[in-house]
Amino acid sequence: MRLEAIVWSLTAFLVTAAPAADHFAGKWKEDLTKSTNSWGEKPATPRTRTYTPTSDGGYDVIIDTVDESGKAVNRTLKAGGNTEMTVPSGGSKGVQLLEPTHVISRRVDDHTMIATYRKNGKDVGTSTSKISADGRTLTMKLEGTAADGKKVKAVTVYRK
């Protein structure tokens, strides 16, 4: 009986000491049927996002897409590391409409990241990335104000 108690105690310790799964890490494919935006544009092919954890608690993100001419395009960016960075050119249409110069992205919890877009020191938009409870759906909501004063809204849904 004593051996059984030791085995159960050790099992309980290992289960509670095991690191939590990283819900963002991995490859996500856009679900075009669930994604919407305020400018009425839909990509011809779904984008993919691949999140690779980095030592600062954030991610290297590779976004693979196809441009209007059918050419494959991939971009790399950083997310979740809580460091303000220059916005790379060629981002999503929604981000382009905001015309930000900088972005700061931070993890709120295991299922949520928030990116704040800034232009000339002023917040112009926010993107909230949320993982579903089952870990299989990533929903990104972008809201902000374009340079012309119009509201920018997008909901992009990805599946693992």
Please list the pLDDT of the chain residue by residue as tens digits (160 residues). Answer: 565 644 445 444 444 445 567 999 999 999 999 999 998 887 778 899 999 999 988 999 999 988 778 888 888 889 998 988 898 777 788 999 999 999 999 999 999 999 999 999 999 999 999 999 999 999 999 999 998 999 999 999 999 9
User: How far from 53 is each of 26, 42, 57, 68, 153, CA to CA, in Å?
Assistant: 9, 29, 7, 31, 28
Enter the CATH code of domain 2-159.
2.40.128
Asked whether the beta carbons of 158 and 151 are under 8 A apart, the reply is no
Of 89, 107, 149, 93, which is closest to residue 124 (Cα–Cα)? 149
CA distance readout (Å), 129 to 108, 140, 141: 10, 4, 7
Predicted TM-score (pTM) of the model is: 0.83
Contact 120, 98 (CB under 8 A): no
Domain ranges of the chain: 2-159
